[in-house]
Amino acid sequence: MNQSRIVIDVTLNENRIPEQINWQATETTADSIRQARAMLLAFWDSADKAALRMDLWTKDMMVDEMADFFYQTFMTMADTFDRSTHQTELAHDIKKFAGEFYTRFRNNQLKENKA
């Protein structure tokens, strides 16, 4: 049986706020440690029927990057949901929401920049 390893290292400041997020995986084309400004990690606990998650971002994560991150995450979640359930219509709804979310974010940014 093959095994894959994913390592995530988070450097915290004195207030336990993430300063740096580094990750490395054995089953990837990247041959070195990669840096990230944010991460969303979720596990399904079937015993408790609950999602366990860890959401971290560094102080360097910009608001527009966070919106891009969420938009792209919604889109990939839709693809994963479709592949795992074959509920294409619901996956389409997730993507539609993602598009509306991103449009609203951009419109809010434009309003804030004009003010």
The pLDDT of residue 38 is: 98
Give the mean model confidence (pLDDT) for residues 30-51.
94
pLDDT band at 28 (very low <50, low <70, confident <90, very high): confident
CB 67 within 8 A of CB 38: no
Which amino acid, one-letter code, is at 46? S
- Supply 18's token pair: 């993430």
Longest dimension (CA), the chain: 59
pTM of the model: 0.89
